[in-house]
Amino acid sequence: MAAKPLATHQMASDKGTGVYDVARYEDGFTCSCKSFEYRQAPCKHIKRIANAHGIPDPKAHLESQSEGGTDGTQANAKAAPDAS
């Protein structure tokens, strides 16, 4: 379940070949560019948006940390009612 962004902005890429989506969350920003995906750290698009909002030191909002999740923890609690 991903958090809803407080706001979203579109930034044209420097080369003019596309548009990146910068989303602002309560705890930080995300960007759809490769740089952000790779580094998971505020990219120049995020910094540009953040600066426009008077945020000098933007943070990255990381939401998809589901790798190595806790699947199955609830399955054990549900014992079979009729195991015989």
Q: Closer CB to Zn ion, residue 33 or residue 50? A: 33
CA distances from 52 to 9, 45, 59 (A): 11, 11, 15
Q: What is the 3-state secondary structure (H, E, C) of 31-63?
A: ECCHHHHHHCCCCHHHHHHHHHCCCCCCCECCC
For residue 58, which of 30, 28, 35 has the smallest C-alpha distance?
A: 28
| Closest separation in Å from C-beta 43 to Zn ion | 3
Smallest distance from Zn ion to CB 36, Å: 5
Q: Which span (2-10, 33-41, 54-62, 71-79) binds Zn ion, by CB under 5 A?
A: 33-41
Q: Does 50 bind Zn ion (CB under 5 A)?
A: no
Q: By CB under 5 A, is residue 45 in contact with Zn ion?
A: yes
Contacts with Zn ion, residue ranges (CB under 5 A):
20, 31, 33, 36, 43, 45
